[in-house]
A and B are shown apart, each in its own frame.
Chain A
Amino acid sequence: MNAGAFTAQNVQTEPVLSIRNLRVAFGSTRGALVAVDGVDLDVRSGEVLGIAGESGSGKSVTLRAILGLIRAPGQATGQVLWRGKDLMTLPKGELRRVRGGEIGIIFQEPMTALNPVLTVGMQIRENLKEHTTLDAAGREKRAVELMDHVGIPAAKSRLDDYPHQFSGGMRQRAMIAIALASNPKLLLADEPTTALDVTIQDQILKLILRLRSEMNMSVVLVTHDLGVIAQTCDRLAVMYAGRIVETGPVTALFKSPRHAYTLGLLNSVPRGDLVRQPLSSISGQPPLLFQLPPGCAFAPRCRFMTEACNAAKPPLVAIDADHRAACIHHADVAKAS
C-alpha cells in the first residue's frame, strides 16, 4: 500500500460541511460565557480536517454544536450546512437521522461514550436498525463485518461482550465500528486517541485513515497533539479562546505559520535538536473565558503585539489561496518562522 492512498487525492474543493458564524454561549449570572465566537469552517469531501487548540479553545464545543449536542444552559446559533440542509434549523426527527447516520461521532473516553449495560453487538445493531434498511440477518452479518473491519479479532464472539470487557484500544475500535455502521459520509472525532497509549494511538489513527480512503469519508479530528495533526490531517484550523486564528493546509501551516500562537505552539514542542536547552515557550496561560480582552485574545501573550491589536478582534485574512490567519502582523510572524 503506498502513501498515496492516504493523501488528499480525492478531495474536491466543494465543501460537504459548511459552518458559518457559529456561536455557542453559556449563560451565567456573570454574563454570557462565549465558548465559540463566530467560527467559519469548511470540510471538503474526503479530507481530514484537524482542529487544534488547548483548554478553553472551544474545539470540542464546536464539534458538538455541529450535531446539535449542546444542551441548556448552552445555546448555539449560526449556520451548519450539511449537503444543502442547515442542521441548526432541521426538525428534531430529521436531525436524528443525520446524527449517527450520515454524520458519525466518536469521543475521547469510550468508557463513558459507550453504554455500559448493552453489549457492543447490541449497540452496533441499534445503529444499523436506526440508519439502514437491513433485516435482522443482514444486520447480524454487517455487525460482524464491521468488527472485523476495525481490527477486532474473533469479531463474532466479541459482539456479545460488554464495553468493560474490552481493553482501551479495542473499545475505541468498537466505538468506531458503531459509528461506521450507518456508512457515514462524515466522521467527527473528539480527541479519539488522547487517552490511549502511543502504540495503540498509532494503530487507531492509521485505522481511521484507512477507513477514510475505503469509505470515501471526510473526517474532522479535534486534538491538542501537533504530532497527531502532522501525521493524519490534510488541512488544519487552529483555535484559540473560541475563535479560529489560522487555517490552511497542514504542510503550509507547519512550514510557515502566520499566527503567533501557531508559531509559538510549534516552537514549544521539542524537536530533537538543542537538547537540554530551554524550549521556546509562550508566556502566560490560556485565558479564562470570563476575562477575554476586547481585542485579539492572544495579544497579552504575543511578542508581536502592538496597540492596534487591542482595538478590535482581527478578522481572518487570506495569505494564500487556501491559507488564512487572523493576525494583523502576520508578515512579522512569517519572518520569524
Chain B
Amino acid sequence: MTLALPLTKAIIARRPRRRRISFAIGIVLMVAFIVLAIVPGWFAPYDPLAFDYQAIMHPPSWMHPFGTDNFGRDILSRTIWATRIDMQIAIFSTLFPLIFGTFIGALVGYYGGWLDAVFGRMVDLLISFPFLVIVIALIAMLGPVIGLGLKCMYIAVSIVGWVFYAQLMRADVQVQKQSDYAAAARVLGYTEPRIIFRHLLPNAITPIVVYWMTDMALDILLGSSLGYLGLGAQPPTAEWGVIIADGKNFMSTAWWMSVFPGIAIVLAGVGFSLVGDGLADILRRRG
C-alpha cells in the first residue's frame, strides 16, 4: 500500500523515546566498563592482591563496600581490576570469529554449491553439541600442549565460534545476492570479490554487528564459567568468574564474595546487549 512509507516513518518516529533511553543506558554501561578496564587504579580503593589479615570475610561496609574475602582482599577492588581481564576476554574471544566467520560466510553465501553443502554439514555437527561442552573439550586437548589460561581459552573459543558468524553472514548474503543492485553490479562488469565485499557484505553486516555485541556478553559469561571451573584465567589473575569461584565455598557465610562479581557480569552483559539493539536500529534506519 502506498501509505506504507509515510506510516512506517510515523511509527519509527515514535520509537526512539524508549529505544534511545535503552541505547543510552547501554552506552553508559559500556563506557563505564571500558574506563574501569583502562584505568582501574583510579577507582579501586585497595590493591587487589593485598592480603589483610585484620579484615577477613568482612561483610559490606563503608571501608569495604563489597566486603572482603577469606584473605582480606577487598572485593570491590578485585572486581574493578578484573574488568580489564573480562573486557579483554570479550574482545579477544570474538575478534577472530568475527573476521574469519564474516569472510567465510560471505563466500559460502555467494557461491553456494558444494561449499554450501560442506559448510551446512559442519554447522549441523557443531550445533548438536552445547557450546560450553565443545570448548571444554578443546581446552582439555590444548591445555597440555600450550598450558591452561586465557590464551588457551581464546584459541578454543575461536576454533568453533566463527561458525555462528559465518551462518548469519551466509543467510544474509544469499538474500542480498538476489537484489537488483547486486544484479546491476554484475551487469556493470564488476569482479566477484568486489561484488561480495564492497556491495553485498556492507548490506549484510547488521545482524553480524548485533550478534557480535551479544557474543561479547556471552563470552564474558563463558570466560567466567571456565574461570569458575579452573579452565580459564588462572590464579592469581583476577577475573570475575575466578572471583566467584573463590567464593563458592563460602556462599552461606560470605555471600558478598560471589554476588558482587556476579552483578558485574550481569551489568556488562546488559550493557553490550542494549548497545547491540541500538546499533541494529541505527543500521536498519539507514538502509
Residue positions of A touching B, CB distance < 8 A = 26-30, 33, 35, 54-56, 58, 60-61, 73, 288-290
Residue of B nearest to A290 (CB): B6
A-side interface mostly = loop
Contact B2 A56 (CB under 8 A): yes
| Chain B positions within 8 Å of A73 at CB level | 10-11
Residue of A nearest to B14 (CB): A29
Contact A28 B10 (CB under 8 A): yes
Contact A28 B3 (CB under 8 A): no
| Chain B positions within 8 Å of A289 at CB level | 6
| Chain A positions within 8 Å of B17 at CB level | 29
Contact B6 A60 (CB under 8 A): no
Residue positions of B touching A, CB distance < 8 A = 1-3, 6-7, 9-11, 13-14, 17
| Chain A positions within 8 Å of B1 at CB level | 60
User: Once the chains are docked, how many angstroms separate the CA of A290 from the CA of B12?
Assistant: 14
| Chain B positions within 8 Å of A27 at CB level | 10
Cβ contacts A to B, 23 pairs, < 8 Å = A26-B7, A26-B10, A27-B10, A28-B9, A28-B10, A28-B11, A30-B10, A33-B6, A33-B10, A35-B3, A54-B2, A55-B2, A56-B2, A56-B3, A56-B6, A58-B3, A60-B2, A60-B3, A61-B3, A288-B6, A289-B6, A290-B6, A290-B9
B-side interface mostly = helix
User: Once the chains are docked, how many angstroms separate the CA of A125 from the CA of B128?
Assistant: 47
User: Once the chains are docked, how many angstroms separate the CA of A28 from the CA of B13?
Assistant: 7
Contact A33 B7 (CB under 8 A): yes
| Chain A positions within 8 Å of B11 at CB level | 28, 73
| Chain B positions within 8 Å of A33 at CB level | 6-7, 10
User: Once the chains are docked, how many angstroms separate the CA of A55 from the CA of B17?
Assistant: 29
**Nearest Cβ in chain B — how far from A285, in angstroms?**
12
User: Once the chains are docked, how many angstroms separate the CA of A328 from the CA of B19?
Assistant: 47
**Number of cross-chain contacts by CB at 8 Å:** 33
**Nearest Cβ in chain A — how far from B91, in angstroms?**
37
User: Once the chains are docked, how many angstroms separate the CA of A29 from the CA of B14?
Assistant: 6
Contact A28 B2 (CB under 8 A): no
| Chain B positions within 8 Å of A60 at CB level | 1-3
Q: Which 8 pairs of residues, A with B, have the shortest CB-CB distance?
A: A28-B10, A55-B2, A29-B13, A289-B6, A28-B13, A29-B14, A33-B10, A26-B10
Residue of B nearest to A224 (CB): B2
User: Once the chains are docked, how many angstroms separate the CA of A26 from the CA of B10?
Assistant: 8
**Nearest Cβ in chain A — how far from B7, in angstroms?**
6
User: Once the chains are docked, how many angstroms separate the CA of A198 from the CA of B213?
Assistant: 51
**Additional A-B contact list (18), CB under 8 Å, known A56-B6, A73-B10:** A26-B10, A27-B10, A28-B9, A28-B10, A28-B11, A28-B14, A30-B10, A30-B13, A33-B6, A33-B10, A35-B3, A56-B2, A56-B3, A58-B3, A60-B1, A73-B11, A288-B6, A289-B6
* Residue of B1, B9, B11 contacting most chain A CB atoms (<10 Å): B1
Residue of A nearest to B10 (CB): A28
| Chain A positions within 8 Å of B3 at CB level | 35, 56, 58, 60-61
User: Once the chains are docked, how many angstroms separate the CA of A30 from the CA of B14?
Assistant: 9
User: Once the chains are docked, how many angstroms separate the CA of A181 from the CA of B2?
Assistant: 29
User: Once the chains are docked, how many angstroms separate the CA of A288 from the CA of B7?
Assistant: 11
**Nearest Cβ in chain A — how far from B237, in angstroms?**
49
Residue of A nearest to B12 (CB): A28
**Nearest Cβ in chain A — how far from B6, in angstroms?**
5
**Nearest Cβ in chain A — how far from B96, in angstroms?**
43
User: Once the chains are docked, how many angstroms separate the CA of A58 from the CA of B2?
Assistant: 9
**Nearest Cβ in chain B — how far from A288, in angstroms?**
6
* Residue of B3, B6, B9, B13 contacting most chain A CB atoms (<10 Å): B3
Residue of B nearest to A286 (CB): B2
User: Once the chains are docked, how many angstroms separate the CA of A290 from the CA of B3?
Assistant: 12
User: Once the chains are docked, how many angstroms separate the CA of A58 from the CA of B10?
Assistant: 16
Residue of A nearest to B7 (CB): A26
**Nearest Cβ in chain A — how far from B65, in angstroms?**
42
| Chain B positions within 8 Å of A56 at CB level | 2-3, 6
User: Once the chains are docked, how many angstroms separate the CA of A54 from the CA of B17?
Assistant: 33
**Nearest Cβ in chain B — how far from A205, in angstroms?**
21
| Chain B positions within 8 Å of A58 at CB level | 3
**Nearest Cβ in chain B — how far from A224, in angstroms?**
9
User: Once the chains are docked, how many angstroms separate the CA of A308 from the CA of B25?
Assistant: 52
Residue of A nearest to B17 (CB): A29
| Chain A positions within 8 Å of B10 at CB level | 26-28, 30, 33, 73
User: Once the chains are docked, how many angstroms separate the CA of A56 from the CA of B17?
Assistant: 27
User: Once the chains are docked, how many angstroms separate the CA of A228 from the CA of B2?
Assistant: 19
